[in-house]
Amino acid sequence: GAVVSQHPSWVICKSGTSVKIECRSLDFQATTMFWYRQFPKQSLMLMATSNEGSKATYEQGVEKDKFLINHASLTLSTLTVTSAHPEDSSFYICSARWLAGGFTDTQYFGPGTRLTVL
């Protein structure tokens, strides 16, 4: 149980284009999902908290207009990187908090998405 998927696993795009990354909880409902960014050999940096049916909460320093987050249902959150530039190249990871069952204080992570902007 508590499986989280991400799609795509790897995406390459041209500078100036937008890219959408999906995060799905496959076997549980998640009222809260989180988006992280990770550089090679570094820790995870929280970008934003996504709550179903409401606006995302962004961490300080994260551009909300560049990283659009939508949490349309209890099983799906999307991160759109708008007008991507090479400096946005990174590994993006989502996690989901299980609403009922299991430990509600535990985050379950997706496998991550590698974004390369040329």
Partner 1 sequence: AQTVTQSQPEMSVQEAETVTLSCTYDTSENNYYLFWYKQPPSRQMILVIRQEAYKQQNATENRFSVNFQKAAKSFSLKISDSQLGDTAMYFCAFMKRGSDYKLSFGAGTTVTVRA
Nearer to partner 1, 112 or 115 (CB): 112
> Residue 8: is the preceding peptide bond cis (ω within 30°)?
yes
Least separation in angstroms between CB 91 and partner 1? 7
46 lies in the binding site for partner 1 (CB under 8 A): yes
Quote the DSSP letter at residue 33. Answer: E
Nearer to partner 1, 82 or 89 (CB): 89
Q: Please enumerate in sequence order all residues whose Cβ is within 8 A of that of 55, keeping only pairs 6 or more positions apart, or say none.
A: none
Q: Comparing C-alpha atoms, which of 51, 24, 48, 52 is closest to residue 113?
A: 24
Least separation in angstroms between CB 44 and partner 1? 5
Footprint on residues 85-114 left by partner 1 (CB under 8 A):
91, 93, 95, 97, 103, 105-109, 111-112
Is residue 5 a contact partner of residue 111, using CB atoms and an 8 Å limit? yes
Nearer to partner 1, 13 or 44 (CB): 44
Question: CA-to-CA distance for 29 and 20, rounded, in angstroms?
Answer: 21
7 lies in the binding site for partner 1 (CB under 8 A): no
* Tokens coding 43: 């820790």
Q: Catalog residues that contact partner 1 under the rule CB under 8 A.
A: 32, 34, 38, 41-44, 46, 49, 57, 91, 93, 95, 97, 103, 105-109, 111-112
